[in-house]
Amino acid sequence: MNLIIKLNHRSLQQHLFLLLQNCKSTRELFQIHAQIVTNGFSQKNYILGKLCSICIARDDLQHARKSFELIESPSTIVWNQMIRGYARSESPYVSIELYSKMVGAEVNADGFTYAFVLMACAKASSASFLLRQEGEQLHGRVSCNGMWCNIFVQTNLVNMYGMGGGDGGLEKARRVFDEMPERSVVTWNLMLAVHLRWGDVGGGSRVFGEMPERNVVSWTTMISALAQNGKCREALALFHEMVRAHVEVDDVAMVAALTACAELGDLKTGRWIHSCVGKALEIGSHPRLVSLSNALMHMYASCGVIGEAYMVFKGMKRRSLVSWTTMITGYAKQGRGKEAIEMFRWMQDMGGEQGTTPDEITFLGLLCACSHTGMVSEARYYFEYMIRSCGIEPKIEHYGCMVDVLSRAGQLDEANKLIEAMPMKPNEAVWGALLGGCRIHKSVEIASHVVHQLRMELEPHRAAGYLVLLSNIYAAAKRWIDVAGVRRSLGDLKARKPSGRSWIQVNGAIHDFAAGDWTHGRANEIYEMADGIARHSKLGNLVLDE
């Protein structure tokens, strides 16, 4: 009879365990938990561990914690579930507290325990020196307890040192990594991410080159890092290598590649990536991320084909604030202020839907659009609207746009007064905007004042360009004595204005040029053509004069 009862209890446990595995809603979970309690299984670690696991998977740590605290003698597995749950939460320090209680209860920790606590230390130690110390002490315990050979523990040690902050984190993470007898692709990816987190792109590239196996995360991480650090040519070269290696390109890699295309003006590659996105949508492999559409718009706008950017925008089923801001900024770059304002008004007409509340970057794009098209009254209106109606405090960039639009329009006194009223110290860009207006409108006095301010604040080599501009302003006003004085100042500084640079895409190849540069393979032909254009221009002027 007792055997039959035991069998019934065991089969009931298995039944409840299966119900937990197939649980599809919070309501079902509560019902199953009630059955666990009423049938006397509230102290069964086997089934309570699964309950806590399901709660944690549903981000219901509160329910998991209440269930856990009712267990008189939690097993290692149950402790591990709770430590893991808090390690991945916004309160990782609770994992470390639970581990201390586990040690106090004399429950044996295993490799999973140490891995989860190290994960918590990595997440929490960037904000706490004491938690960094806790992680290092845990490293010692791992070595003493014979858990050092556990690859899961070793990987989390790399993560703790490399991603958790603290002095020497990169070196300590590298030391642990180098001592590992076995490494998975996850470990290699983590070491790559550690180098990049510490700003060591070169070290990250070396790790990437040494990897015996790469997955899509490896490629995407490296391409994104190169693009974000201004190494756009290298990013695109690696992206093409990824395609040739037949690695399935994900949305994150395409966003990074499109960012590089935007920076370089590589429209050909950008269009090719767009075609790949279209093919993926046709076969229904996955829906397009909003961030990918935003990157496509940014690429088209940066390459000067704002119409194609608008077609992407128009075809989006869902838009974020970045989507609207990208279009407004794109129109601003093309000097199409009216379209930028129309886009902003359309955004307002959406009635405060998600992603349509403008932020400081949206207004920056709008003010830049007004600046590039000389829309002074509109700039004044939106600057005030930003402050009074949206409660956004202007940053120095917003003041810079206003100074620029006023200066271009010849409102130099107003621009100067705005600078004086700024709550922060004006930077080089703000003074430069006012100086640009002085050049257009030949205001010698204000230009002299601006350059005086810049010379006090800038290093000599950085002030040289502004001195050249001041010299040109004096020359336009025929103040030759002042021109000579500025030229002497330039001579004393022994400074040279940086060479201008430009680039152009021809037949898919991007050519970079600098003034006076002869390093290009076809430099002779280029300069011969430039001289020919200059000669034809002079002949044309002579004909017009006659």
**209-238 pLDDT, tens per residue?**
999 999 999 999 999 999 999 899 999 999
Which tens digits make up the pLDDT trace of 70-116? 787 888 888 888 899 888 888 888 888 898 899 888 888 888 888 88
CA distance 137 to 125: 13
Burial class (CB in 10 A: 0-12, 13-18, 19+), 211: middle
In one-letter notation, the amino acid at residue 143 is S
CA distance 150 to 110: 10
Compute the 3-state secondary structure of the chain and give helix, strand, coil in percent, each to the nearest 5. 70, 0, 25
In one-letter notation, the amino acid at residue 407 is S
The pLDDT assigned to 126 comes to 58
Residue with the larger pLDDT of the pair 314 and 489? 314
Which tens digits make up the pLDDT trace of 42-60? 666 667 777 777 777 777 7
CA distance 18 to 28: 13
Q: Looking at the DSSP assignment, which residues form a beta bridge with residue 504? A: 511
The distance of Cα 546 from the centroid of its chain, to the nearest Å, equals 59
The pLDDT assigned to 541 comes to 52
Tell me the torsion sign for CA atoms 104, 109, 114, 115.
Answer: negative
The pLDDT assigned to 152 comes to 85
Most confident of 138-147, 332-341, 342-351: 332-341
CA distance 198 to 202: 11
Mean pLDDT for all residues in the chain: 81
Lowest mean pLDDT among 16-30, 70-84, 361-375: 16-30
CA distance 159 to 133: 15
Which tens digits make up the pLDDT trace of 124-135? 765 555 556 777
Contact 178, 203 (CB under 8 A): no
Lowest mean pLDDT among 61-65, 198-202, 247-251, 506-510: 506-510
Nearest to 396 by CA among 432, 441, 449: 432
CA distance 49 to 21: 12
Helix (H, G, I), strand (E, B) or coil at 514: strand
pLDDT of residue 503 exceeding 90, the answer is no
pLDDT of residue 61 exceeding 50, the answer is yes
pLDDT of residue 418 exceeding 90, the answer is yes
Q: What percent of the chain has pLDDT over 70?
A: 78
User: Structure pTM?
Assistant: 0.74
pLDDT of residue 149 exceeding 80, the answer is no
Contact 504, 520 (CB under 8 A): no
Cβ atoms within 10 Å of 476's Cβ, excluding its own: 12
